[in-house]
Amino acid sequence: MENKSADWDPRSEAVLKDQLATYDDMRRRCPVATSRYGYTSLFRHADVMHVLMDHETYSNAVSRFPSVPNGMDPPEHTAYRRLIEPYFEPQQMEAFAPVCREVAVRLVQALPEQADVELMADFAQIFALQIQCAWLGWPVELHEPLRLWTLKNQAATLARDEAAMSAVALEFDGYIKDLLTARRNAGSAAPDDVTTRLLRDQALGRPLTDDEIVSILRNWTVGELGTIAASIGILVHYLAGHAALQQQLREQPALLPAAIDEILRIHAPLVMNRRVTTREVTLGERTLAAGTRLALIWASANRDEAVFGDPDEFRLDREPQLNLLYGAGIHVCPGAPLARLELRVVMEELLGRTRRMALLADQQPVKAFFPASGFSSLPLHIEKAENATPHG
């Protein structure tokens, strides 16, 4: 239901022209703002952090679909969270790192030696898809159906077409249930991968149901495909516009983890996340009734001058706990270690195997539409290095 007397319209042409500038303005002018779409948006770091640290007042149970564990509150959330966290432990990331490196190397090597490319379609989206399938143990034959599914999902979300979103969700469920059936039929010969491990997981004292596994994998896949591709686009765009930093990171790849988090603080790959109030609250001198739907605008909170000073100043010595790139509180992103591994490796290979990445003067990037972030198209000139720097 749309609110006609709203403080802002996140989908308006003016906002979409420059989302970050709009968020900066809203943070100063109207930090707790109603939108046309039934959400009250929070723009300040302090307000977002307050919500993240009070899960009893601000519930995560906002989705129309089962959402394990993202859309749950304690105590239900606690048990599922305990189940999924081991999948992202350091030893799991260490075991996956060589596979991640192999995918990154193959795709960087496939880029032309010296040419203009469209980075999003030619590289970022392909990497996100292939790396997610590799981590989950999904077959190569699923790459193209999942690519098309991602496009349909984005179109349905952008159009706010609930019927289309439901159809897309059912299509994804079908892919997963086919994979589960194949693994059950294979018995002890089933591949030893994340999907099979979920099928056999007994952390709840019982096997997970198919619906629970589908929900977990949907959450991981939808989040991963969109944000990893967006993050690569944002990182490369920033470095292409900052040649000195680009070269510094080539020469000092150990700085990459901090640099990646800082660039993605400046330009968030994920615009917002949702909550709903369980009681009447006051935020920014505005009283909100129980049941008020909230949009936590990460892309604004991580640029708050009260916390970061000049939001566009690139610094490698930021306090990591202030950066809300992966959230905070009990719902902090469990997949952060995987995302950090994938982004570090892909940027090491991109920088190590090129000598120059530059924006094109005659072709402008196309910004992604809300609720997406980053770029839907990123024309780029790439020059490969004669002697690639090996990593890993």
Render pLDDT for 274-290 as a digit per residue (tens, 0 to 9).
999 999 999 988 999 99
User: What pLDDT score does 4 carry?
Assistant: 53
pLDDT score at 35: 92
- The per-residue pLDDT for range 245-278, each reduced to its tens digit, is 999 999 999 999 999 999 999 999 999 999 999 9
41 confidence band (pLDDT: 50, 70, 90): very high
Cα–Cα distance for residue pair 276/283, rounded to 1 Å: 13
Output the pLDDT for position 165: 79
pLDDT at 30: 96
63: in domain? yes
Query: Would residue 237 count as lying in a domain?
Result: yes
**Structural domain includes residue 105:** yes
Higher-confidence residue of 317 and 166: namely 317
Given a cut of 80, is residue 61 above it in pLDDT?
A: yes
Give me the residue label for tokens 């990460």. 298
Long-range contacts of residues 64-72, Cβ cutoff 8 Å, at least 24 apart: 65/169, 65/215, 65/218, 66/211, 66/212, 66/215, 67/215, 67/219, 68/212, 68/215, 68/216, 68/219, 69/216, 70/219, 70/331
C-alpha 195/C-alpha 184 separation (Å) is 11
Highest mean pLDDT among 346-350, 362-366, 373-377: 346-350
Average pLDDT, the chain: 92
Q: How many helices (H) and strands (E) does the chain have?
A: 16, 12
Query: What tens digit of pLDDT does each residue of 309-348 get?
Result: 999 999 999 999 999 999 999 999 999 999 999 999 999 9
pLDDT at 136: 95
For residue 129, the model assigns a pLDDT of: 94
pLDDT in tens, 76-119: 999 999 999 999 999 999 999 999 999 999 999 999 999 999 99
Average pLDDT over residues 111-129: 94
Domain span at 130: 13-384
Q: Look at residue 391 and tell me if it is in a domain.
A: no
Average pLDDT on 63-79 reads 89
Domain count, the chain: 1
- Judge whether residue 2 has pLDDT over 60: no
Q: Is 4 a member of any domain?
A: no
- Structural domain contains residue 142: yes
How far apart (Å, rounded) are the C-alpha atoms in residues 246 and 385? 14
Q: Is residue 389 part of a domain?
A: no
Residue 1 in this model has a pLDDT that exceeds 60: no
The dihedral through the CA atoms of 299, 305, 310, 313 has a sign that is: negative
Q: Confirm whether 7 is domain-assigned.
A: no
**Between 63 and 238, whose confidence is greater?**
238
Report the percent of the chain where pLDDT is more than 90. 78
Q: What is the domain-level CATH number for residue 261?
A: 1.10.630.10
The DSSP secondary structure of 350-361, one letter per residue, reads HHHTEEEEEE-S
Whether residue 3 is predicted with pLDDT greater than 60 in this model: the reply is no
pTM: 0.94
Tens digits of per-residue pLDDT, 202-232? 999 999 999 999 999 988 887 788 899 999 9
Which pLDDT does position 22 carry in this prediction? 95
